[in-house]
A and B are shown apart, each in its own frame.
Chain A
Amino acid sequence: MKTSRIGAWVAIAIGTLYFLLPLIATFEFSLKMNRDGYSFEAYKVVLSDPGFQATFGYSTLMALLTIIVGILLVVPTAYWIQLKLPRLRPVVEFITLMPLVIPAIVIVFGYLKLYNSSSWLPLTGNDRATDFLLMCSYVTLALPYLYRSIDTGLRAIDVRTLTEAAESLGASWPNILFKVIFPNVKSAILSGAFLTFAVVIGEFTMASLLGRPAFGPYLQLIGANRAYEPSALAIIAFLVTWASMGLIQVFARNARGTRKSA
């Protein structure tokens, strides 16, 4: 027993070293922009760069739109499957897992072939339409995360009884969805939303190949041309990911707390 505990400590120590070293190295490097000692100069330069503000804003907006559209697409579907069409569940589950199987680069290649400016539906014809296509590509990427977390949330509540209670009180379908179902799976929706945010905010492949000014391509551009700014950006990106994941934990804990006290 004693030896296995030592082995476990060694494993954790090596793991910690491997995972912390790159973060420490990146942080240290990001502080070295001024020759005469450590400073936050790189962060100052990055944060005041109009390119950073524009692309980060664009990606944030894209992430929010993706989350809204994704939720509006997934919640009613998962609800309907649970309530009326359980036989279709394997089909829908399979489709939502497909984006994990088909690489993003293949999907976007398909878009360019299918929706190019000389096609039947020229979604790459102008900027607004391409923005729409990019958002749809992000909804596709987010499907596995959104569907799984929302479906789990729906399984934990009694969808049938809630629906029948609402129906017997004369509620319309939009009312049932938005006032009964949504609030009951709020924490599942939120955790799916934050995961989506973390995936979308720095996404590179789709945005780059669709030619939109998103944060991911900006990161790549800075990485190819600057020395210290990329490290500062990596730290910022890591903090954003960490914040998204941390918020998921907070909401999950709150949900468990309320359910226990109820």
Chain B
Amino acid sequence: MATSSESLPQDPASSRGQTRKGLTLSSFNWLGVLPFFLFALMFLILPTLTLMVGAFQDANGHFTLANIGKLFDSNILSAYQISIEVSAASALGGSVIGMLLALAAIQGGLPQWIRPTLMTFSGVASNFAGVPLSFAFLSTLGRMGLVTVLLRTYADIDLYGTGFTILSFLGLTLTYLYFQIPLMVLIVTPAIDGLRAEWREACESLGGSGFHYWWHIALPILWPSILGSALLLFANAFGAVATAYALTGSSLNIVPILLYAQIRGDVLHDQNLGYALALGMVVITGLSNAGYIWLRSRAERGRE
């Protein structure tokens, strides 16, 4: 990385006899990043800001808090609640299972090839979200899905007789885990790699058991990474539209699908309420990402 002395813009060019260039640099420097900032402004920042503003306006453009108030209507509140529950369940499950998988592959004393295989597969599976993923789970746990049929034929278990359906809370969570677990594996691996063998040896030479090592040494070091990653997973699931929409259509009332329906056909009959819905999503994903960044910086400080 560049040190601070290198970062002074006039320094290297002028000292090498290119004063003419060095003189015009200060104005020229900003031009170099102008396209990027223009692009970000037009296609990322302004579109988001305009929704944030719209959330606090009525149909005539006057300031109001009524839209925010309407977010607490029972229908919308329950959509947020189910969304948060599905995201939390898939984030919790994803981070615990992903953590265990990563631990098993890295520290479990398994053959060498397991780890790179898991990493490659995680790269693929964490990107295998959306519509095709919903097809895969319909073929697996749908009414005619392979697992459903196998269980009925060989184990005499009628999955759908127990009230299970892939279009439910549990079904959606199981589907989300397919990209949440691999994502966790990818994020948490560096943290697990940071656990030094000496710590374990020190613990063992002092007579500590495996439990002592995990409870008093490894977990206190890992927990900011684990919790932070869980927050990232939460935000990841909360914003997902395609998987849920292709899987359940509109039968499950979650926020991204409600917003999708609102954009397609104004189902809320109130454009500005739609903006407030979007604002609510950004607040929730923003908070969990802020938590992730804060916990990650803690974890990094702890490692130094």
Q: Counting CB contacts under 8 A, is A60 at the interface?
A: no
Contact A202 B108 (CB under 8 A): no
- Among A1, A22, A202, A241, the residue within 8 A (CB) of B137 is A22
Q: Counting CB contacts under 8 A, is A204 at the interface?
A: yes
Contacts of B77 in A (CB 8 A): none
Contacts of B278 in A (CB 8 A): 105-106, 109-110
**A143 CA to B44 CA, complexed, in Å:** 11
**A1 CA to B48 CA, complexed, in Å:** 53
Contacts of B54 in A (CB 8 A): 113
Q: Return the CB mask of A1-44 against B: 1 if under 8 Å, else 0.
A: 10011011101100100110111111011100000000000000
- Among B109, B177, B178, the residue within 8 A (CB) of A1 is B109
Q: Counting CB contacts under 8 A, is B260 at the interface?
A: yes
Contacts of A28 in B (CB 8 A): 139, 146
Contacts of A187 in B (CB 8 A): none
Q: Return the CB mask of A220-238 against B: 1 if under 8 Å, else 0.
A: 1001100000110110011
Contact B260 A15 (CB under 8 A): no
Q: Counting CB contacts under 8 A, is A157 at the interface?
A: no
Contact A76 B32 (CB under 8 A): yes
Q: Counting CB contacts under 8 A, is B238 at the interface?
A: yes
Contact A107 B48 (CB under 8 A): yes
Contact A249 B210 (CB under 8 A): no
List CB contacts (< 8 Å) of A195-224 with chain B: 195, 198-199, 202-205, 209, 216, 219-220, 223-224
Q: Counting CB contacts under 8 A, is B205 at the interface?
A: no
Stretch at the interface among A85-93, A178-186, A254-262: A85-93
List CB contacts (< 8 Å) of A71-89 with chain B: 73-74, 76-77, 80-82, 84-88
Interface core residue of A19, A92, A160 (most chain B CB under 10 Å): A19
Contact B104 A101 (CB under 8 A): no
Contact B285 A21 (CB under 8 A): no
**How many residues does chain B have at the interface if contact means C-beta atoms less than 8 Å apart?**
89
- Among B47, B263, B285, the residue within 8 A (CB) of A103 is B285
Instruction: Tell me, rounded to whole Å, the shortest Cβ–Cβ distance linking B90 to chain A.
Output: 13
- Among B18, B36, B246, the residue within 8 A (CB) of A167 is B18
Q: Counting CB contacts under 8 A, is B269 at the interface?
A: no
B-side interface mostly: helix
Q: A203-B130, A219-B246, A237-B132 are in contact. Are A230 and B138 (CB under 8 A)?
A: yes
Interface core residue of A15, A24, A30, A230 (most chain B CB under 10 Å): A15
**A238 CA to B42 CA, complexed, in Å:** 33
List CB contacts (< 8 Å) of A149-196 with chain B: 155, 160, 164, 167-168, 195
Contacts of A216 in B (CB 8 A): 130-131, 242
Instruction: Tell me, rounded to whole Å, the shortest Cβ–Cβ distance linking A26 to chain B.
Output: 4
Q: Counting CB contacts under 8 A, is B97 at the interface?
A: yes
Q: Counting CB contacts under 8 A, is B206 at the interface?
A: no
**A73 CA to B278 CA, complexed, in Å:** 28
Contact A12 B123 (CB under 8 A): no
Closest B residue by C-beta to A199: B127
Contact A23 B44 (CB under 8 A): no
Q: Counting CB contacts under 8 A, is B81 at the interface?
A: no
**A26 CA to B146 CA, complexed, in Å:** 8
Q: Counting CB contacts under 8 A, is B147 at the interface?
A: yes
Interface core residue of A19, A103, A114 (most chain B CB under 10 Å): A103
Contacts of B264 in A (CB 8 A): 209
Contacts of A248 in B (CB 8 A): 123
Q: A4-B109, A112-B263 are in contact. Are A140 and B44 (CB under 8 A)?
A: yes
Contact A104 B136 (CB under 8 A): no
- Among A29, A110, A137, A198, the residue within 8 A (CB) of B127 is A198
Contacts of B256 in A (CB 8 A): 103, 105
**A9 CA to B124 CA, complexed, in Å:** 22
Stretch at the interface among B2-10, B62-70, B157-165, B217-225: B2-10
Contacts of A80 in B (CB 8 A): 29, 32-33
**A245 CA to B235 CA, complexed, in Å:** 23
Q: Counting CB contacts under 8 A, is B227 at the interface?
A: no
Q: Counting CB contacts under 8 A, is A67 at the interface?
A: no
Pick 24 A–B contacts, CB within 8 A, sort by A: A5-B110, A8-B105, A8-B109, A11-B103, A12-B101, A12-B104, A24-B146, A25-B136, A80-B33, A82-B2, A95-B37, A95-B44, A101-B282, A102-B48, A105-B281, A107-B43, A108-B263, A139-B39, A140-B44, A160-B6, A202-B131, A204-B241, A216-B130, A223-B135
Query: Closest 6 interchain pairs by CB?
Result: A8-B108, A110-B47, A103-B239, A25-B146, A204-B242, A80-B32
